[in-house]
Amino acid sequence: MSGKSSVASNTIFLSIRMVLVMAVSLYTSRVVLSSLGSVNYGVYNVVAGTIAALAFFYSSLSNAVQRVLGISITTQDISSLRQTFSQCLSVLGVFAIGLVFIGGIVSYPIISFLNIPNEVKIPALWVFLFNVGLFAFAMIRSAYESVFVIHEDMSTFAYVSVFEVIGRLGIALLITVFPEDSRLWIYGCLLFIIQGVVMGVYIFLSYRKYEECRGNYFVWNKTQVRDIFSFIGFNTLGGLSVAVAFQGITILQNLFFGPVVNAAQGIAAQISGVFNQFSGNVLTAAKPRIIKDYAVGHVEKSLDLAMRISRITFFVLLLGAAPVLLNAQYLLSMWLGTYPKETPLFMSIAIVQALVAIFAQPLWVVANATGVIKNIQVYGRLITMMALPISWLLVKVLPYSYIPLFVLVLVELGYWMYCLQDIHHQVALSRRVYLKSVVTPIGLILALYIPILLALSYSIEEPLFRLFIGSSIAILLGGMLIWFWGLDRQEKSLVQQWIIKSRDKLWR
């Protein structure tokens, strides 16, 4: 299978996974919000989000594992690959044990600091501890996930994810049978259990399918560990900056505006998370190919794929965002019934932020392939971290809860520009080629598409009519604009081939 076909096929698998996960997650969120109530739901988001902020560390570990395994697999030496996997698993195990130890120590001070009603402080403490354990499981699981990713086995990856989200739906339905005052901590406990089960599934499947997973499970080669730690270190510093910005803003809003605003932010984050997940799916599918191409010396090929990923992912998400932006209030009413008043605006800004974030992500993958990540992850992420002090200063003067979200959009733009400059210096990425391949087509489509969306928004007042007719028109016209001015000949040919193959399979 060719590189582009492999990426396309894996993206389709991951996109199907995303649609199923999104559909179930939306219903799950409604059930959980209804069961917990706005205050407890907000408490869960701010407490679990404090641990989820460590996703930067999880991401650092996962990226380090995927890179070293991706480089190792190009040697086609199973013995070396087995040792590399065992080494990665050992490192992750050490970090997981350390997380559990530190999490237990800091749990009470953190819960005491947060703006949480006294009657739910003890359940909130249990939620914190369960999320520490959940995250430790996720660290171990990332080693096995990485094996599926580097082998580009996205179908298995997708099936396990669907199993996980169905388990989460079962939990959401199950907590309704418990007394209201115990649902918060029981919800955290059950999520911890399902994470352990999913980790077990990954271990079982990887052991059966891939020989490198059947080696020694504790290896500690000092040279290799030093290389892994160096890569993890810079990734962690960059991720820490992101965590300070995003979770810091969550805490800032909690302190200035209370847990109901956190609930609105949590709901908006669920929606924007779907868009982030799709772009993450595309990157997950493309990352092994970019790393492998760079490892064997095909630098131009890896850069070309990164630029195509930026542009096409943006276009696909733009088409997906249009109906949501047009019908934000109506969709929220259908989904949740009642919701915090800030939610529609929060959701719209969060979607814009997710669209802007797409630009830097493929450039960051190229930096991972080269292994030279210090500038992007340390100096570049200082731009992201500035979101917190800027937001704090602004809300002191202008006490509007949406201001920090606008600041996040601006710092994402700044980070993208820094990444572009750094990759230009690393691998001689032509600014002119990037402008022609990515910026110009996207700018043209936005200039034509935004007026169309505004016209549809103001001209169609009936919510149900706007949902079906307005959204259909928006997607159709957006698709036409992208086809004629957003795709090159090679991409149009790939789309046509995919349509023909799909039609032939359908009519067999």
What tokens were used for 113?
A: 């600091």
Q: What is the pLDDT of residue 27?
A: 76
Give the integer Cα–Cα distance in Å for 315 and 486.
8
For the question of whether the overall pTM of this predicted structure is more than 0.85, the answer is no
Give the integer Cα–Cα distance in Å for 87 and 213.
11
Estimate the crossing angle of helix 299-326 against helix 360-370, to 10 degrees.
150
- Name the residue type at position 111: I
Q: What is the pLDDT of residue 216?
A: 64
**Which residues are within 8 A (CB) of 171 and not within 5 positions of it... i.e. 6 or more apart?**
187, 190, 191, 194
Residue pair 147/215 in contact (Cβ under 8 Å)? The answer is no
Q: What is the pLDDT of residue 115?
A: 79
- Spans of all domains in the chain: 14-220, 261-508
pLDDT averaged per 10 residues, the chain (length 508) = 59 68 73 79 80 71 81 75 83 88 87 82 88 89 86 79 84 84 86 90 88 73 77 81 83 85 85 81 81 85 91 90 91 83 90 93 90 88 91 90 91 94 92 94 95 91 90 93 89 76 62
Q: What is the pLDDT of residue 55?
A: 67
Q: What is the pLDDT of residue 272?
A: 85
By three-state DSSP, how is residue 181 classified? helix
Residue pair 28/166 in contact (Cβ under 8 Å)? The answer is no
